[in-house]
Amino acid sequence: MNEVVNCAAYSKGHRTANVELAEVHEVLKDANQFVWIGLHEPSEDILNQVQLEFGLHDLAVEDAQNAHQRPKAELYGDTLFVVLRTAQMNKEHHIEFGETHFFVGANFIVTIRHGSSVSYANVRTRCESTPHLLSKGQGFALYAVMDFIVDQYFPVIDELEEELQEIEDEVFKEKPSRATTEHIYQLKRELLEVKRAISPLIDISSRLMRFDIKCISEDTQPYFRDIYDHVIRINEVVDNTRELLNTALEANFSLISISQSDVSKKFAGWAAIIAVPTMIAGFYGMNFRFMPELDWRYGYPVVVGFTISICIIVYYFFRRSGWL
Amino acid sequence: MNEVVNCAAYSKGHRTANVELAEVHEVLKDANQFVWIGLHEPSEDILNQVQLEFGLHDLAVEDAQNAHQRPKAELYGDTLFVVLRTAQMNKEHHIEFGETHFFVGANFIVTIRHGSSVSYANVRTRCESTPHLLSKGQGFALYAVMDFIVDQYFPVIDELEEELQEIEDEVFKEKPSRATTEHIYQLKRELLEVKRAISPLIDISSRLMRFDIKCISEDTQPYFRDIYDHVIRINEVVDNTRELLNTALEANFSLISISQSDVSKKFAGWAAIIAVPTMIAGFYGMNFRFMPELDWRYGYPVVVGFTISICIIVYYFFRRSGWL
Amino acid sequence: MNEVVNCAAYSKGHRTANVELAEVHEVLKDANQFVWIGLHEPSEDILNQVQLEFGLHDLAVEDAQNAHQRPKAELYGDTLFVVLRTAQMNKEHHIEFGETHFFVGANFIVTIRHGSSVSYANVRTRCESTPHLLSKGQGFALYAVMDFIVDQYFPVIDELEEELQEIEDEVFKEKPSRATTEHIYQLKRELLEVKRAISPLIDISSRLMRFDIKCISEDTQPYFRDIYDHVIRINEVVDNTRELLNTALEANFSLISISQSDVSKKFAGWAAIIAVPTMIAGFYGMNFRFMPELDWRYGYPVVVGFTISICIIVYYFFRRSGWL
Amino acid sequence: MNEVVNCAAYSKGHRTANVELAEVHEVLKDANQFVWIGLHEPSEDILNQVQLEFGLHDLAVEDAQNAHQRPKAELYGDTLFVVLRTAQMNKEHHIEFGETHFFVGANFIVTIRHGSSVSYANVRTRCESTPHLLSKGQGFALYAVMDFIVDQYFPVIDELEEELQEIEDEVFKEKPSRATTEHIYQLKRELLEVKRAISPLIDISSRLMRFDIKCISEDTQPYFRDIYDHVIRINEVVDNTRELLNTALEANFSLISISQSDVSKKFAGWAAIIAVPTMIAGFYGMNFRFMPELDWRYGYPVVVGFTISICIIVYYFFRRSGWL
Amino acid sequence: MNEVVNCAAYSKGHRTANVELAEVHEVLKDANQFVWIGLHEPSEDILNQVQLEFGLHDLAVEDAQNAHQRPKAELYGDTLFVVLRTAQMNKEHHIEFGETHFFVGANFIVTIRHGSSVSYANVRTRCESTPHLLSKGQGFALYAVMDFIVDQYFPVIDELEEELQEIEDEVFKEKPSRATTEHIYQLKRELLEVKRAISPLIDISSRLMRFDIKCISEDTQPYFRDIYDHVIRINEVVDNTRELLNTALEANFSLISISQSDVSKKFAGWAAIIAVPTMIAGFYGMNFRFMPELDWRYGYPVVVGFTISICIIVYYFFRRSGWL
C-alpha cells in the first residue's frame, strides 16, 4: 500500500483538488481551504516532509514515528496532536490493536495509520457525501475518523461480553476445570488491554468538546460529545464485564470447593458400603473354636444376605442425605 | 398504540387545546403557552416532523431514534435532551428496562418512550389536576415524568433486597449448594444493571437542580433536588446490597469449607468405628497354633463384646469432640 | 405523648413565653425573639399548621411527614431543612434507628422526631441553663440537638467495636463455626447501616460550618465544626471496624482451612496406627502350609508385641511431626 | 511531674525570662516577645487559667481537656488549635499512643501532652541553641515539636516493616500455623492505628505550609513542607505494608491449601503401600480347598517377597510423582 | 570516582569553560551563561560549598545529603529542588534503586547522584551535541537528565512483564507449588517499589509542564509533557501487571483446589480398586463349615478371575468419569 494514501484539498465541504505532498504549502495559502492527508506507516522521509510543510513540533513527529504511544491529545502551539488506539477482532477471535495519529492545524489534518487497522478511505468518501457537514472544516474530519475508530470497538466489546457468557456457562453448567480458570484470566487480560486503549479517550473527547481549540470550529463540539458518549458506554461495559468476571472467578472457586466436597461425600459413602462387609467377613474369619454360627447349616447364606441388606440400607441412607 | 399518544397546549397550568403535530409551530408563537407531546416508539417520519417543528439537533434526534443510549442530559443550544432508563419488575420477577427520551425547549416538552414501560398518561392527568404547579411550565412537566420514572425503581430495589434476604437464608440456614452461588451471581448482575441505569441520574439531576438552563424555570429547581435525593437513596441501596452480596459470597465460601470439614470429620469418625473391629477380627483370624484365647469357651462372645464396647467408646469420644 | 412537645419563645437566650402553635406568627413579628417548637410524630394537621405559620416549602413538608429520608441539609429560600438519623442500642443489643427533621428559619426552629429516639427536653433544659450560648439564636439550638444526636452514636460504635472484639476471640481462640461466619456477616450489615446514617453528616456539618446561611449566626459555625469532628471520628471507627472485619473474615477462612488440614492429619495418623496391625494380622491369617512362625511356641505373643511396638513407633513419629 | 513543665518568654530567639502562668498577660504586652508554655496532663484549673490568659475558645479548651481527639488543626479567630497523636514502641514491642495539643496565637504557643510520650524539654533546648531559627517566632516552635513528634514515627514503622519481614518468613519458610494468621491480623490492626494517627497530618501540614495563618510567619512555611514530606513517607510505608500484608494473607492461604494437598498426597501414598499387602494377604487367607500356592514349599516366602517388592515399586512410583 | 564529576559553564548551548567549584559565583555574574555541575555522593564539605555559591535553602541541602527521600519537586524561593529515584536491573535480575537530586536556579543546575546509578556524562555529551536545544537553558538540562532517568525504567518494567509471563506459565502449565506463590509475592513487592518510585513523577512532571517556574523557560515545557507521558505509561504498565498478578494469585488458588480435588479423586479411584478384592477375599476367608464354593475344584481361579474383572470394570468406570 502507498505511504501517502490520499492527499486532497477541500473547500466548503467539497474536494477541490488532489495535491502533491510537496505542494501543500501552496494550497495552505488560501485560508478558505483545508488539506486532508492520509498516511499509512510513513517512512521518516515522508514524515519529515510533512513536518516541514506544516511546521510540526519535533517531539510530536518523533511520537508519530514510533507506534506504541498511549492515547492522548496534546497541543503544540496551535497544532493539535492526537493519538488513538484502534481495535478489531481478527479471524481467530483475538483482538488486534493498531494506532492512528492525527495532526490538526489551522487548515490541515493529517492521519497516520500504524499496524492492523482498516483504511479510512470509506470515512473520507462518506464525509465527501455530506458537504454541509464537512464544510465545518478539518475538525469535522477529525470527528469522522475518531467516530469510525470508536465505533469499531463495539463489535469488540460484544465479543468480550459473549466470552463472559461462555465463561458463565462453563462455570455454572459444566464441571470445574483448569481451562475455565485460564479462560477467565485471558478475558481479564483482554479487558485490561481494551480498557487501556479506550479509557484515555474519555478525557480526550471531553477536552475536545469543551475547551477552546482554535483548529476545531465551535459547532463541531457537539460531535465530540457524541464520541464522549460512546466511549463512556464502551468503558462502562468493560468495567461491568470486569466486575462480573471477578465474581465469576470467585463463584468458580466456590463451585470447585462444592465439587470437591461432593467427591469426599461420594468417596465416604462408597467406602462405608465396602467397609461394612469387609468387617463382617473379618469376624467370621476368626479362628475361635466355639463360634456356633460357623457350624449352622445356613450360616453362610444368612450372613451374606445380612451383609447385603446392611449395604443396601447404608446405600439408601447416604442417598437420602445426598452424599451418593 | 398510537405513536403520538398525546399532543396538547398548556397555558397557566391548564390544558388549552389538543394540537395536531403539524400545527405545533402555530401554537409556539404564543410565548405564554407550552406544548407537551407524548410519543411512543415513533417512526422516523414522526421524529423528522418533530425535529422540524422544534428545530432539534441532528445528533439528538439520531440518538432518540435508537434506544440503547446511556442516561444523560445534553444541551444543544437552548434545547435540553435527556435520556433516562426506566425499570419495572415483570411477572417472572425479572427486571425489564425501557428508555425514555425528553426534548425540552423554550416552550415545549417532548417525551419519547421506548421498550417496556408504563404510559405517562397518568402523570399528565395528575399534573393537570395541580395547575398551580404545572403553571411553572415545561420544566415541571419534565420533573413530573422523571419523578414517576425514578419512583418506579423503588419496587425494583425492594425486590433486590428481598432476593438478598433469600440468599442470606440459603447461605446461613441451608446447606451450601451450586444454586446459591449462581443466585448470588445473578443478583450481582441485576444490581450492576440497575446501577448502570440509575447512577448517571445523580449527575443529571444535580445538574438540573443547580445550573442555569433557560427552559427550566428557577422555582422548579427544588423539585429536581427531590429527584436527586431519591436517586441517591436508590443508588445507596444498590451499593449496600452489592457490598453485602460480596460478603455473602465470601461467607458462603467459608461455610462450604466448614461443611467440607464436617464431612471429613464424620467420615473419619465412622471409619474409626469400622476399622477397630476389623483390626481385632483380623487378629483372631491369625493362624498361630498357640493362641490360647481361641480355645476358650467364651472367647468368641468376649471378643465380640469387647469389640462392641470399644466401638461405643470411640463413638462417644468422637461425639464429645463434635466430629460425629 | 403529645404531638407538640414544646413550643416556646426565646429572647437573649432566655425563655420568654410558652406559645400556642396558632399564635406563633404573632411572636415572630418581634425580630429579637425566636421560637423553638418540638414536635413528635405530628399529624398532617399539625404539620400543615406549622407550614402555614412559617411559610415552609411543600416538598420539605412532604419529606417531614414521611420518615425514611436519608440525612440531608437543604435550603428552601432562607429556610434550612435538615434530616438526621438517630441511633441507640435497645435492650437486646440491637441498633434502633429513628429520624429527626429540623426546620430552621430567620427566627424559628422546629424539631420533628420520628420513630425510636430519646426526647430532646433535656437538651432544651441544658440550653436554657446557658443563656449566653443560647442567645446566639436558633442556630445554637440546632447545634445543641445535632450534637446530642451525634453523641448518641458513640455508645453504638463502642458496642460495634466490642462485637468485633468478640468475633476476634471466636476466630482466634475457638474452633471455626458457622455461627462466627454469620456473626461477621451481621456485624457487617450493622456497620453498613450506621455508615449510611452517619456518613452524610460529614457533608452536612461541613456545609453548616463553612457556608453562609442566613438563619445561622456566624459565631455558631465553630460549633458545627465540633460536630463535624465527632462525625469524622465515628465514621473512621466504622471504616476501621469494617476493614478489620474483612480481614477477620479472611483470617477465619484461613483458620478453617488449617483446622481442616488438622482433621486430615489426625485422620491420617490414626488410620496408619490401625492399618499397620490390620496388615500384619492379615499376613498371619494366610493359609500357607509352611509358615514356620505359626508353629512357634511364642509366635503369637511375639507378633502381638511386635505389632504394638510398631504402633507406638508410628504414634511417636506422627506426634513429632505434629500430625497427632 | 509538674503540670506546668515550662513557661518562658522569648525575644529574637533567646529565652529572656521564666514566667509565672499568672503573669503571662504582662509579658504579652510586649509584641516583640512570645511565650512558650509546656503543660503535661494539666488539671482543669490550670487550663482555665491558660484560657483566661490567652482568651481561648471554649470548644478548643474542652477538647484539650479530653484526650481521644483525632489529629486536626482548627482556627478559632486568630488562634490555631492543633491536635497530634504521638507514638512510640514500648519495651514489649507494642505501640503506645499519646496525644499532644497546641495553642498557637499572635505571640504565644502552648503545648499540652497527654498519655505516653517523651518530654519536649530536649526540643526546647535544641531550639534555644539555634536562635536564628527560633527568632522566626512561635511558628518555628510549633514546627520543632511537630517535627519531633513525626520523627518518632520512623522507628515505629521500621518495627512494623520488620514484623512484615517476620511474617514473610513464617509464611514462606515455616509451616502454616494459626499463629501466623493471627500475627497478620494483629499487624493489620496496628497498621490501621498508625494510619489513623498519621494520615490526618497530610492535610494538617499541607494547610500549615500553604495557607495564610497570621500566627505563623511566612518563612516558617517551608519547614511545614518538610513535615508534610515526612508524613507522606510514613503514610506510604504504611499503605505499602498493608498491601503486602494483604498479599501475604492470600499467599498464606494458598500455601495452607498446598500443604493440605501435600497431606492428602502423603496419606494416599502410604495408604496404597499398606493396602496392597493387606489385599494380597487377604487373598491367601481364603479358605478354598484347592489353592495350589498354599501347598508350595516356598509359597510363603515367595508371597512375602513379592509383596515387599510391590510395596517398594509403589513407593518409588509415588516418590517420583512427588507424592511422598 | 570524583565527587565533583563535572562543572562547566554554558552559553547559547555551547560549553564555554570548565569551572572550579569555588569560582562559580564569578561565572554566575554573566546572566547569559548557566553552570551545570554534576556531583556524585558529595561530602558535607562540597555540599556546603555548593550551598554557599548558590544560596540554597538549609532544608533542601539537608535532604540532598541524606538519600532515602521520596521523589518530589519543591520550590525554595526561585530555586527548584527535585528528587528522583533511579532504577536499573543488576546482573542477578534484581532492581537496584538509586537517587538523584537536582538544584535548578536562575542560571545553574546541580545534579547529585546517590547509590547505584549510571553516570550522566553521556547525557551531557548528547546535550552538547544539540546546542540549539541546550540553548533553552538549564531547564533543558533538567529535562535531559530526567528523561534519561525515566527511560531507564522501561527495561525494568519489561523485565517485570516477563516475570509475570513466567508466573502465568508456572500457574497454568505447571503443577501448583510453593515457589509460584512466593514468586507472585516477590513480584508484587517489586511492583510496589517501582510504583513508589515512579508515581510521584506524574505529579512532578505535570507541575513542571504546567506551572510558571522562573528557572525553566516556557519552550521547555512541552518536553516535560513528554516525560509526563512516559511516566504515565510506566505507571499504567505497573498497575496493569499488578491487577493481572492479583488475578493470577486467585487463579493459582483455584488451580490448587482443582489439583487437590484431582488428588482426592485419584485416591478414591485406587482405593476402590484395592478395597473391592480385599472385601471379596475377606468373604472367602470366613470359616463357615458349609460354603460350597470353597470346595469347588475351580473356585479359587474363578473367584480370582471374577475379582480381577470387577477391578477392571471399576477402573474403566473411574476412567470414564475422569477420576483416574
The values of phi and psi at residue A139, to 5°, are -60, -40
Question: Residue A113 and residue A116: Cα distance in Å, rounded?
Answer: 8
pLDDT of residue D297: 85
| Binary contact (B172, C189; C-beta < 8 A) | no
The number of CA neighbours under 13 Å toward the Cβ of B52 is 11
| Binary contact (E286, A263; C-beta < 8 A) | no
Cα–Cα distances (Å) from C65 to B133, C41, C44, D77, in that order, read: 20, 8, 7, 40
Q: What is the pLDDT of residues D227-263, one digit of tens each?
A: 999 999 999 999 999 999 999 999 999 999 888 888 8
Whole-number mean pLDDT of chain A? 90
Within 142-171 of A, beta carbons closer than 8 Å to B belong to: 168
Q: Which residues in chain E land under pLDDT 50?
A: none
Place of cell 498371619: C284
Q: Please, what sign has the CA dihedral across residues E305, E307, E311, E317? A: positive
Compute how many other C-beta atoms are within 10 angstroms of the C-beta atom of residue B94: 10
Assess contact for D110 and D54: CB atoms under 8 A. yes
Residue C114 bridge partners (DSSP): C99
pLDDT of residue D247: 92
Q: Please, what sign has the CA dihedral across residues B160, B165, B169, B172? A: positive
Compute how many other C-beta atoms are within 10 angstroms of the C-beta atom of residue A231: 22
Cα–Cα distances (Å) from C48 to C25, C34, C84, D238, in that order, read: 14, 20, 21, 56
Q: Specify burial of residue D198 (Cβ count, 10 A radius: 0-12, 13-18, 19+).
A: buried
Distance from CA of D171 to the nearest CA of E (A): 9
Between CA A288 and CA A292, with CA A291 as vertex, the angle to 5 degrees is 160
pLDDT of residue C107: 87
Question: Residue A71 and residue B239: Cα distance in Å, rounded?
Answer: 32
Assess contact for C50 and C39: CB atoms under 8 A. yes
DSSP assignment of C227-292 equals: HHHHHHHHHHHHHHHHHHHHHHHHHHHHHHHHHHHHHHHHHHHHHHHHHHHHHHHHHHT---S--H
Q: Is A297 on the interface with E (CB under 8 A)?
A: yes
Q: Which residue of chain E is at minimal alpha-carbon distance from A263?
A: E265
Question: Residue A284 and residue D99: Cα distance in Å, rounded?
Answer: 80
Question: Residue D279 and residue E281: Cα distance in Å, rounded?
Answer: 8
Within 2-31 of C, beta carbons closer than 8 Å to D belong to: none
How many residues does the structure list for chain C?
Answer: 324
Q: Which of C75, C78, C184, C192 to mutate to test the interface with B (most CBs of B within 10 A)?
A: C192
Within 225-284 of B, beta carbons closer than 8 Å to A belong to: 249-250, 252-253, 256-257, 259-260, 263-264, 266-267, 270-271, 274-275, 277-278, 281-282, 284
ipTM: 0.86
User: CA torsion angle for B291, B297, B298, B304 (degrees, to 10)?
Assistant: 50
What long-range pairs does A89-93 form, CB within 8 A, spacing at least 24?
Answer: A89/A155, A89/A156, A89/A159, A90/A116, A93/A159
Please give the grid coordinates belonging to residue B276.
477397630
For chain D, how far is it from start to end, CA to CA, in angstroms?
Answer: 66
Amino acid sitting at position A133: L
How many residues does the structure list for chain D?
Answer: 324
Short-list A72, A69, A233, CA closest to A156:
A233
Enumerate the residues of chain E whose CB falls inside 8 A of the CB of residue D255.
178, 181
Between CA B169 and CA B177, with CA B174 as vertex, the angle to 5 degrees is 105
Compute how many other C-beta atoms are within 10 angstroms of the C-beta atom of residue E39: 25
Q: Is C43 on the interface with B (CB under 8 A)?
A: no
pLDDT of residue B22: 84
At residue D286 the predicted structure's pLDDT band, cuts being 50, 70 and 90, is: confident
Enumerate the residues of chain B whose CB falls inside 8 A of the CB of residue C296.
288, 290
Assess contact for E3 and E46: CB atoms under 8 A. yes
| Binary contact (B188, A255; C-beta < 8 A) | no
Asked whether the predicted pLDDT for residue C147 surpasses 90, the reply is yes
| Binary contact (A285, E290; C-beta < 8 A) | no
Per DSSP, chain E holds a count of helices (H) and strands (E) of 12, 7
| Binary contact (E288, A294; C-beta < 8 A) | yes
Write b or e for each residue in E258-291: b if 16 or more Cβ atoms lie within 10 A of its Cβ, otherwise e.
Answer: bbbbbbbbbbbbbbbbbbbbbbbbbbbbbbbeeb
At residue D1 the predicted structure's pLDDT band, cuts being 50, 70 and 90, is: low
Question: Residue E68 and residue E74: Cα distance in Å, rounded?
Answer: 16
Enumerate the residues of chain B whose CB falls inside 8 A of the CB of residue C297.
290
Assess contact for D312 and D306: CB atoms under 8 A. no
Biggest distance spanned by C-alpha atoms of chain A: 124
| Binary contact (C278, B278; C-beta < 8 A) | yes
Percentage helix, strand, coil, to 5, in chain D?
Answer: 60, 15, 20
| Binary contact (A278, B282; C-beta < 8 A) | no
Place of cell 441412607: A317
Strands D14-18, C79-89: pairing is unpaired
Please give the grid coordinates belonging to residue E91.
546482573
| Binary contact (B285, C285; C-beta < 8 A) | yes
Q: Please, what sign has the CA dihedral across residues B23, B29, B33, B38? A: positive
pLDDT of residue B1: 53
| % of chain A residues with pLDDT over 70 | 100
Please give the grid coordinates belonging to residue E70.
521520596
A181 Cα distance to chain centroid: 17
At residue A98 the predicted structure's pLDDT band, cuts being 50, 70 and 90, is: very high
Single pTM value for the model: 0.89
Q: Which residue of chain C is at minimal alpha-carbon distance from D60?
A: C226
| Binary contact (C299, B279; C-beta < 8 A) | no
Q: Residue C254: which of D256, D275, D284 has the nearest Cβ? A: D256
Q: What is the pLDDT of residues D63-77, one digit of tens each?
A: 888 878 889 999 888
pLDDT of residue D183: 93
| Binary contact (E284, D289; C-beta < 8 A) | no
Q: Which of C62, C101, C184, C185 to mutate to test the interface with B (most CBs of B within 10 A)?
A: C185
Amino acid sitting at position E135: S
The values of phi and psi at residue B138, to 5°, are -65, -25
Please give the grid coordinates belonging to residue E298.
475351580
Q: Which residue of chain D is at minimal alpha-carbon distance from C253?
A: D253
* Mean pLDDT, residues D70-88 taken together: 91
| Binary contact (C251, D256; C-beta < 8 A) | no
Short-list B120, B81, B293, B312, CA closest to B204:
B81
| Binary contact (E300, D278; C-beta < 8 A) | no
Question: Residue D132 and residue A174: Cα distance in Å, rounded?
Answer: 78
Partners of chain B (3+ Cβ pairs below 8 A): A, C
Please give the grid coordinates belonging to residue B171.
447461605
Asked whether the predicted pLDDT for residue A161 surpasses 60, the reply is yes
Enumerate the residues of chain D whose CB falls inside 8 A of the CB of residue C257.
253, 256-257, 260
Q: Is A73 on the interface with E (CB under 8 A)?
A: no
The number of CA neighbours under 13 Å toward the Cβ of D164 is 25
Three-class secondary structure of residue C99 per DSSP: strand
Asked whether the predicted pLDDT for residue A1 surpasses 80, the reply is no
Asked whether the predicted pLDDT for residue D278 surpasses 80, the reply is yes
Residue A239 CB contacts under 8 Å (≥ 6 apart), including other chains: A195
Three-class secondary structure of residue D207 per DSSP: helix
Compute how many other C-beta atoms are within 10 angstroms of the C-beta atom of residue E75: 18
Enumerate the residues of chain B whose CB falls inside 8 A of the CB of residue C189.
244
E55: left (phi over 0), alpha (psi -120 to 50) or beta: left
Strands C108-115, C33-40: pairing is parallel
Q: Which residues in chain B land under pLDDT 50?
A: none
Residue E85 CB contacts under 8 Å (≥ 6 apart), including other chains: E70, E71, E97, E98, E99, E100, E196, E197, E198
Question: Residue E71 and residue E63: Cα distance in Å, rounded?
Answer: 11
Q: What is the pLDDT of residues D113-132, one digit of tens each?
A: 998 778 888 899 999 999 99
Question: Residue C215 and residue C203: Cα distance in Å, rounded?
Answer: 18
Enumerate the residues of chain C whose CB falls inside 8 A of the CB of residue B288.
284, 293-294, 296, 299-300, 303
Within 83-102 of D, beta carbons closer than 8 Å to E belong to: none
How many residues does the structure list for chain B?
Answer: 324
pLDDT of residue E311: 92
Enumerate the residues of chain E whose CB falls inside 8 A of the CB of residue A278.
275, 278-279, 282
| Binary contact (E282, A281; C-beta < 8 A) | yes
Amino acid sitting at position D111: T
Per DSSP, chain B holds a count of helices (H) and strands (E) of 12, 7
Q: What is the pLDDT of residues E64-86, one digit of tens each?
A: 888 788 899 998 888 999 999 99
Compute how many other C-beta atoms are within 10 angstroms of the C-beta atom of residue C195: 19
Question: Residue D276 and residue D269: Cα distance in Å, rounded?
Answer: 11
Enumerate the residues of chain E whose CB falls inside 8 A of the CB of residue A184.
247, 251
Question: Residue E77 and residue E104: Cα distance in Å, rounded?
Answer: 11
Q: Residue B72: which of A222, A229, A251 has the nearest Cβ? A: A229
Partners of chain E (3+ Cβ pairs below 8 A): A, D
Short-list C200, C23, C5, C37, CA closest to C104:
C37
Enumerate the residues of chain E whose CB falls inside 8 A of the CB of residue D260.
260
Enumerate the residues of chain C whose CB falls inside 8 A of the CB of residue D174.
none
Compute how many other C-beta atoms are within 10 angstroms of the C-beta atom of residue A154: 13
| Binary contact (C285, D285; C-beta < 8 A) | yes
Asked whether the predicted pLDDT for residue D289 surpasses 70, the reply is yes
